[in-house]
């Protein structure tokens, strides 16, 4: 039986190959926290302070936990015969850095990473923006800009999308 986002994508995007896996930094089986609002499902459990920042305390309320296969991007690309990723986009609800680290041996063929980054703790074990930014620098990526910064509640900026480019990618010609 097809579930959740996978089922929706399978039925509404016939020209897209959909795979029922999660991505991370190691190949394993992990718990997916299925939350009341499916957009907040994560491999990370909900942080106790998340209700402070979300519009509704129930958005990240976990209603089920299921086992899912986790693959690294590197392993998945090897299996699928994918040699290059022009732009890697992640939105993994606090697990984005783990997804990116799963592509470690492919960084030479991934010039651009566009990732969700958070400023507050919504998930246990999630890095906030400072740690995320520092790790991306360690991996050889430099911040270009922040986009879609409208994810706010009360006074707090929750998250945004951050565009990183490998430092060895040539800049525009002048």
Q: Where are the alpha helices (DSSP H) in the chain?
A: 4-12, 50-53, 73-80, 96-101, 129-138
DSSP label at residue 37: S
Domain holding 77: CATH number?
3.40.50
So what's the pLDDT on residue 1?
A: 35
Task: Say how many domains are in the chain.
Answer: 1
**Is 157 within a domain?**
yes
Confirm whether 56 is domain-assigned. Answer: yes
Residue 79 has pLDDT above 80, yes or no: yes
The helix/strand/coil state of 8 is helix
Q: 73 lies in a domain?
A: yes
Provide the sign of the torsion angle of the four alpha carbons 118, 18, 110, 99, taken in this order: positive
pLDDT band at 59 (very low <50, low <70, confident <90, very high): confident
Is residue 172, in this structure, part of any structural domain at all?
A: no
Q: Phi first, then psi: give them for residue 11, nearest 5 degrees.
A: -90, -25
Structural domain includes residue 161: yes
pLDDT, mean of residues 81-88: 96
Q: What is the pLDDT of residue 60?
A: 87
Q: 154 pLDDT band (50/70/90 cuts)?
A: low
Residue 41 has pLDDT above 50, yes or no: yes
Residue at 137 is within a domain: yes
**Contact predicate 42/93, CB 8 Å:** yes
Q: Does the pTM exceed 0.95?
A: no
**Which domain range does residue 43 map to?**
4-166
Residue 76 lies in a domain: yes
Q: Is 171 a member of any domain?
A: no
């Amino acid at each position: 039986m097809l579930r959740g986002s996978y089922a929706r994508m399978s039925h509404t995007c016939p020209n897209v190959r959909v795979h029922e896996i999660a991505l991370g930094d190691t190949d394993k089986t992990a718990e997916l926290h299925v939350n009341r609002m499916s957009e907040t499902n994560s491999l990370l459990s909900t942080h106790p302070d998340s209700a402070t920042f979300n519009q509704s305390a129930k958005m990240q309320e976990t209603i089920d936990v299921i086992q899912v296969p986790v693959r690294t991007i590197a392993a998945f690309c090897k299996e699928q015969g994918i040699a290059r990723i022009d732009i890697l986009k992640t939105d993994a609800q606090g697990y984005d850095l783990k997804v990116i680290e799963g592509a470690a041996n492919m960084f030479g063929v991934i010039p651009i990473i566009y990732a969700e980054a958070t400023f507050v703790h919504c998930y246990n074990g999630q890095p906030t923006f400072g740690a995320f930014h520092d790790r991306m620098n360690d991996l050889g990526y430099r911040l270009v800009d922040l986009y879609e910064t409208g994810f706010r509640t009360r006074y707090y900026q929750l998250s945004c999308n951050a565009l990183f480019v490998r430092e060895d990618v040539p800049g525009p010609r002048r």
